[in-house]
Amino acid sequence: MCQVEEDYNGLECNQEKIPVSGLNRKCMKCKEGTAVLIIRVSDAFCRSCFKEYFIHKFRAMLGKNRVIFPQEKVLLAVSGGAASCTMLSQVQEGLSRDAPKKLRFMPGIVYIDDGGACGRSEDERQTSISQLKNIFTQTGFPYFIVPLEKVFSLPTSVLVPGTSDPDPSNPCYKQAVDKYLKEKQKLREEEAVCAVAQLNLEDSAYLPEHKLALQRLFSSLKTLSAKQEMLQTLRQHLILHVARENSYSKVMMGESCSRLAVKLLSNIALGRGAALASDTGFSDPRFGDVVIVRPMRDYSSKEITFYNRMFHVPSVFIPGLDTKSHDKASIQRLTESFVTNLQADFPSTVSTIYRTSEKLHTVRPPQSQSTEPEPASKCLLCLCALDTTADKASAFHATLISEQLSQLRLQEGSVDLVAGSSDQCCVEDQTCGTSGCCSSKRTPVQQDLKTLLCYSCRLTVKDMAAVNTLPPYILTEAEKRQRRSQMKVEISEYLLEEDQD
Amino acid sequence: MAAPLGLHLEFGGGAELLFDGVKNHHVTLPDQSNPWDMKQLLAWIRGNMLKERPELFMQGDTVRPGILVLINDADWELMGELDYQLQDKDNVVFISTLHGG
Ligand SMILES: [Zn+2]
Ligand SMILES: [Zn+2]
Ligand SMILES: [Zn+2]
């Protein structure tokens, strides 16, 4: 039954591009239909074989990974772009079929309107929203349209990983299927509840002061790379919040393999190497109770674009932060142009990068195995496991040392600057003498925030002119964690003294 | 065969932003002694239609990688790409896959 999967996914394409000649080439699958597109290196497909291949791949991806339970509520994160709109159409397709392999989960849709961070006018934003509403309404699924401004009213709980359900491994999956068959009746009731939730959250209004606060936050970020990282993070937090509030336990993201290849390489450049597995894998358990899945990660952007065009999948182009920006405007843009240029000459580029990421997954132990999900061991912003305890040869350590050296030089220059970070001047066997930086008096948030962040998020925050422009839930949670770790230090000191007696 | 050539051009996926935000264009290519091919069409688009930032659409004498081209709803890779000889009433589509998702 997975013949199609093996036929196409197992292909090795390590040769260079072969020129294709002849206008009436036949489909390589059925050998009859006229080919309409080439995928991979030189596989020519006719229209109907391409459709079959595309649809099969989606269901095979979900079937193979078995992470979604029947009847589970799954939130689809739709940005309006081609990939996430295709994902939506594949879910519709899978749910509507009467075939035995019909999908059996309960989808909802979330759209985060980030126009406020990208400098779009109210009119432009409303136009995009009404186009999206048309698409969403036609699916019949409940949907949430949330302006990014809402991050200024998020609770701190968003930053705390939830406790996950019992392991969703195969025995459980089978039980869940049985349960589904028994509880078919309840499904109708649940649907009614969804409709109510939709009414409450469909209100996409935001406060004018939050609009200003969002503008302040993004103008405080000095580089496009940092803006893109921050947008990604805040968007993730909002989606997570909507999922939890409405008891969705899975979130589907529509990232294609072309996009993931770019993300993978730019993540390395941005210092997110340690989080690669969860940032680009099929499923991402970092939030605990809500698991992120990426069912589009086997599709190239070419396949997606052709599918949408041939089968009339509607999508909405929404200009973002980097639209029409220069190739070298940010690390993310630079990587994108690097990968697509390479792909043009060596068509196996994306699949090679992509397969490399799969290997990284098997080498790295899954994050869920790392003992207790204590919030302090996770990055405040991206919730990945903190990589800052890495060994001394790491890039993280190197930046830290150069930072310390430049701070030392500053201190020599002016005595007034001494009141800096207490965590840095006292590392290892340095002593600070009488300058007073070891006293427990409160240090400004900007200095302290760093200790709570992974290497990559530190770099983003470093590009901020004013850290206090961050939304309150982040600042409050940061203070809370700082107080907690301060207390831990004090307690341990006390215990140590007791021990010595 | 020197009759003027009428084409339907379409830009999508954000590529339309480089053409005043207009997706659909009906153009008539001027008479010339040799038949028009895709390479000449691209040069003509660059000279006559592209409003800004040509480097976001073109690279050398072809389209920038990441922009897909369809001729009469088929992949131009099956049609000879730059060497394809255009016919009257052909439909040529350019879709950017850059910055999507
Ligand atoms: Zn076929
Ligand atoms: Zn982080
Ligand atoms: Zn000190």
Task: Indicate whether A104 pLDDT > 50.
Answer: yes
Instruction: For chain B, say whether A340 makes contact (Cβ under 8 Å).
Output: yes
Cα separation, A199 vs A197, in Å, equals 5
Residues with Cβ < 8 Å from A161, sequence gap 6 or more?
A: A286, A287, A288, A289, A373, A375, A378, A383
Shortest CA gap A344–chain B (Å) = 6
Let me know: does A268 contact A360? Beta carbons within 8 Å.
Answer: no
Let me know: does A297 contact A84? Beta carbons within 8 Å.
Answer: no
Residue A70 lies in a domain: yes
Cα separation, B22 vs B10, in Å, equals 9
Within A29-169, where are the H helices? 47-65, 82-96, 122-139
- Integer CA distances (angstroms), A262 to A294, A354, B38, B99, in order: 15, 9, 29, 11
Which is higher by pLDDT, A12 or A379? Answer: A379
What mean pLDDT comes out for the span B80-95?
94
Tokens of A301: 């952007």
Residue A302 lies in a domain: yes
Task: Indicate whether B84 pLDDT > 80.
Answer: yes
pLDDT of residue A442: 43
Q: Which helix (H) or strand (E) holds A145?
A: strand A143-147
Residues of chain A in contact with residue B11, where contact means CB-CB under 8 angstroms, are none
What mean pLDDT comes out for the span A267-289?
77
Structure confidence at residue A167 as a pLDDT band (50, 70, 90): very low
Structure confidence at residue A25 as a pLDDT band (50, 70, 90): confident
Task: Indicate whether A365 pLDDT > 70.
Answer: no
Of B75, B79, B100, the CB nearest to A82: B100
pLDDT of residue A490: 82
Across the interface, whether the CB atoms of B97 and A301 are under 8 A apart is answered: yes
Across the interface, whether the CB atoms of A340 and B98 are under 8 A apart is answered: yes
Highest mean predicted confidence (pLDDT) among A18-22, A177-181, B45-49: B45-49
Query: How does DSSP assign A402-452, residue by residue?
Result: HHHHHHHHHHHH-GGGGGS-HHHHTSTT---TTS-TTS-PPPPHHHHHGGG
Instruction: For chain A, say whether B66 makes contact (Cβ under 8 Å).
Output: yes
Q: What are phi and psi of A176, to 5 degrees?
A: -65, -35
pLDDT tens-digit profile of A450-472?
Answer: 889 988 888 889 999 999 999 99
Of A204-208, A217-221, A257-261, A468-472, which gets the smallest average pLDDT?
Answer: A257-261
Shortest CA gap B6–chain A (Å) = 21
- Residue A217 domain boundaries: 47-165+195-359
Number of folded domains that form chain A = 1
Q: Which chain A residue has the Cα nearest residue B12?
A: A317
Task: Indicate whether A13 pLDDT > 50.
Answer: no
Cα separation, A119 vs A124, in Å, equals 10
> Nearest to residue A452, comparing CAs of A366, A364, A360, A387?
A387
Residue B28 DSSP symbol: E
Residue A105 lies in a domain: yes
Residue B101 lies in a domain: no
pLDDT of residue A352: 73
CB interface of A with B, residues 255-284, below 8 Å: 255-256, 258-259
Which is higher by pLDDT, B30 or A447? Answer: B30
Give the 3-state secondary structure of residue A349.
Answer: helix
Structure confidence at residue B72 as a pLDDT band (50, 70, 90): very high
Give the 3-state secondary structure of residue A250.
Answer: strand
Instruction: For chain B, say whether A37 makes contact (Cβ under 8 Å).
Output: yes
Listing from the earlier edge strand, what are the strands of the sheet with A106-113?
Answer: A143-147, A106-113, A73-77, A250-253, A291-293, A283-284
Shortest CA gap A227–chain B (Å) = 15
Across the interface, whether the CB atoms of A302 and B70 are under 8 A apart is answered: no
Tokens of A447: 């200095």
Which is higher by pLDDT, A496 or A57? Answer: A57
Which is higher by pLDDT, A192 or B42? Answer: B42
Tokens of A108: 């909802």
Task: Indicate whether A476 pLDDT > 70.
Answer: yes
Task: Indicate whether A362 pLDDT > 50.
Answer: no
Beta-sheet pairing, B24-29 with B5-12:
antiparallel
Residue A463 lies in a domain: no
Structure confidence at residue A394 as a pLDDT band (50, 70, 90): low
Of A332-336, A429-433, A469-473, which gets the smallest average pLDDT?
Answer: A429-433
Task: Indicate whether A30 pLDDT > 50.
Answer: yes
pLDDT tens-digit profile of B12-45?
Answer: 988 888 898 899 999 999 988 889 999 999 999 9
Residue A345 lies in a domain: yes
Task: Indicate whether A73 pLDDT > 60.
Answer: yes
Cα(A382) to centroid(ligand 2), Å: 4
Residue B49 lies in a domain: yes
Query: For residue A311, how many other CB atoms are within 10 A of its CB?
Result: 15
Of A57-61, A260-264, B24-28, which gets the smallest average pLDDT?
Answer: A260-264
> Nearest to residue A327, comparing CAs of A317, A338, A319, A316?
A338
Cα(A367) to centroid(ligand 2), Å: 14
Beta-sheet pairing, A250-253 with A291-293:
parallel
Structure confidence at residue A203 as a pLDDT band (50, 70, 90): low
Of B14, B16, B65, the CB nearest to A343: B65
Ligand nearest to the CA of A420: 3
What mean pLDDT comes out for the span A247-275?
79
pLDDT of residue A5: 37
Q: What is the pLDDT of chain A when averaged over all its residues?
A: 75
- Integer CA distances (angstroms), A256 to A270, A301, A354, A483, B8, in order: 20, 6, 10, 41, 30
CA A340 vs. chain centroid, Å, equals 21
Cβ burial of B34 (10 Å; 0-12, 13-18, 19+) is exposed
Let me know: does A454 contact A384? Beta carbons within 8 Å.
Answer: yes
Instruction: For chain A, say whether B55 makes contact (Cβ under 8 Å).
Output: yes
What mean pLDDT comes out for the span A383-406?
62
Residue A257 lies in a domain: yes
Highest mean predicted confidence (pLDDT) among A130-144, A165-179, B8-22: A130-144
Instruction: For chain B, say whether A80 makes contact (Cβ under 8 Å).
Output: no
Residues with Cβ < 8 Å from A183, sequence gap 6 or more?
A: A71
> Nearest to residue B99, comparing CAs of A9, A118, A124?
A118
Residue A248 DSSP symbol: -
pLDDT of residue A6: 36
Task: Indicate whether A247 pLDDT > 60.
Answer: yes
* Residue labelled with tokens 């397969």: A355
Task: Indicate whether A219 pLDDT > 90.
Answer: yes
Cα(B38) to centroid(ligand 1), Å: 27
Of A418-427, A468-477, B44-53, which gets the smallest average pLDDT?
Answer: A418-427
Residue A38 lies in a domain: no
Q: Which chain B residue has the Cα nearest residue A319?
A: B14
Residues with Cβ < 8 Å from A282, sequence gap 6 or more?
A: A61, A65, A67, A293, A294, A295, A297
Cβ burial of A200 (10 Å; 0-12, 13-18, 19+) is exposed
Residue B65 lies in a domain: yes
Of A13-27, A285-299, A320-334, which gets the smallest average pLDDT?
Answer: A13-27
Shortest CA gap A321–chain B (Å) = 10
ipTM computed for the complex: 0.91
pLDDT of residue A375: 53
Question: At B20, which CATH number?
Answer: 3.10.20.30
Q: Which chain B residue has the Cα nearest residue A21?
A: B80
Residues of chain B in contact with residue A327, where contact means CB-CB under 8 angstroms, are 55
Structure confidence at residue A273 as a pLDDT band (50, 70, 90): low
pLDDT of residue B69: 96
Cβ burial of B55 (10 Å; 0-12, 13-18, 19+) is exposed
Number of folded domains that form chain B = 1
Task: Indicate whether A61 pLDDT > 70.
Answer: yes
pLDDT of residue A7: 37
Cα(A129) to centroid(ligand 1), Å: 38
- Residue B23 domain boundaries: 5-96
Residue A372 lies in a domain: no
Beta-sheet pairing, B67-71 with B62-63:
unpaired
pLDDT of residue A318: 86
